[in-house]
């Protein structure tokens, strides 16, 4: 799921024709947030008759970009292309007694952009041809199979942890700074199974 959100309390008195709007993609170029944000920015430019740029602010499974928008001036000029991890990260901070980088009441959703399903993908060279085969193998080798994700406590990390918990298996997590980085990592890393949205899944 991808939402377009902005900081709350937007002032209607600003002159939007003279200020550049930015859509913050909290993951690196080439990931699903980035690939979704760019056509949305182009469409908004046509409607608003105003420049709209995509800014990649990456790090901490999207928390850096999300925090940037949540704590920016609430003037409506910084929009966020948010994945569902937007609601996970503040709760993870609370679990470890950390001050959340942002809270959900600092942001307000304005549009649902897409709702791609999350799919499980593996490199074609790996032996598993079904989820059952993967789970059966993982049960025989606890902690030996690695999987990659877009970052700790990100959407794909949490989904994979739900799978491991439900299936009763133990996997090694290899986090990256984004889904596109996991795909473009060295060859050995690309062999790791992972979860991806359908729109962001590369050919394997």
The CATH number assigned to the domain holding 167 equals 3.40.190.10
Question: What is the token pair recorded at 61?
Answer: 């499974």
Residue 110 and residue 123 in one domain? no
Measure CA 74 to chain center: 23
Residue 180 and residue 99 in one domain? no
Q: What is the pLDDT along the chain (204 residues), one digit of tens a residue?
A: 667 777 765 554 555 455 789 999 999 998 889 999 999 999 999 999 999 999 999 988 889 999 999 999 998 899 999 988 899 999 999 999 999 999 999 999 999 998 878 888 888 888 999 999 999 999 999 999 998 887 888 888 888 999 999 999 999 998 876 554 444 443 444 456 656 555 554 544
Which pTM was predicted? 0.77
Residue 140 and residue 158 in one domain? yes
Question: Alpha-carbon distance 163 to 109, whole Å?
Answer: 28
Tally of domains within the chain: 2
Note down the domain range covering 103.
2-114
Residue 107 and residue 6 in one domain? yes
Domain stops at, among 94, 114, 134: 114
């Amino acid at each position: 799921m991808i939402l377009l959100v902005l900081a709350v309390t937007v002032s209607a008195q600003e002159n939007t024709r003279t200020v550049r709007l930015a859509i913050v993609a909290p993951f690196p170029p080439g990931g699903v947030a980035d690939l979704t944000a760019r056509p949305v920015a182009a469409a908004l430019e046509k409607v608003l008759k105003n420049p709209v740029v995509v800014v990649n602010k990456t790090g901490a499974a999207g928390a850096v970009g999300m925090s940037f928008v949540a704590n920016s001036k609430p003037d409506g000029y910084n929009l966020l292309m948010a994945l569902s991890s937007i609601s996970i990260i503040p709760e993870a901070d609370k679990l470890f007694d950390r001050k959340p980088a942002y809270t959900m009441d600092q942001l307000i959703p304005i549009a649902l952009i897409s709702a791609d399903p999350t799919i499980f993908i593996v490199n074609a060279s790996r032996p598993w041809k079904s989820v059952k085969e993967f789970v059966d193998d993982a049960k025989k080798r606890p902690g030996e199979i690695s999987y990659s994700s877009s970052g700790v406590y990100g959407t794909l990390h949490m989904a994979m942890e739900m799978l491991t918990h439900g299936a009763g298996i133990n996997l090694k997590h290899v986090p990256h700074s984004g889904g596109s980085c996991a795909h473009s990592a060295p060859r050995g890393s690309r062999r790791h199974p992972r979860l991806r949205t359908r729109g962001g899944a590369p050919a394997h």
